[in-house]
Amino acid sequence: MNVTSLVTMANQIADFFVAEAGVATAPQEVAAHITKFWDPRMRTQIIAHAAAGGAGLSATALAAAGQLQPPVANAASAAV
């Protein structure tokens, strides 16, 4: 997926959680949402983008991306 689209989506999610949960807890909520709903390839891209400086990411989205863990390969599919 285009990283510009991922940045836009991450910022929209961050805006929502800042309004709902507050600035202090929003990064954790954003990270949990991304982990739960984003495809592992999308998570990998946003993690790499954040590590490269995170151009375009809001402060909340950047903080959330910093909390994300790289997806772990599925052991069953790795054995195939």
Average pLDDT per 10 consecutive residues for the chain, totaling 80 residues: 97 98 97 97 97 98 97 62
Single-letter amino acid code for the residue at 5: S
Q: Amino acid identity, residue 55?
A: A
pLDDT computed for residue 28 by the predictor: 98
> What is the distance between the alpha carbons of residues 29 and 79, in angstroms, rounded to a whole number?
33
CA separation for the pair 53, 46 (Å, rounded):
11
Residues 6+ apart with CB under 8 A from 18: 26, 60
pLDDT digits (tens, 9 = 90+) for 47-59: 999 999 999 999 9
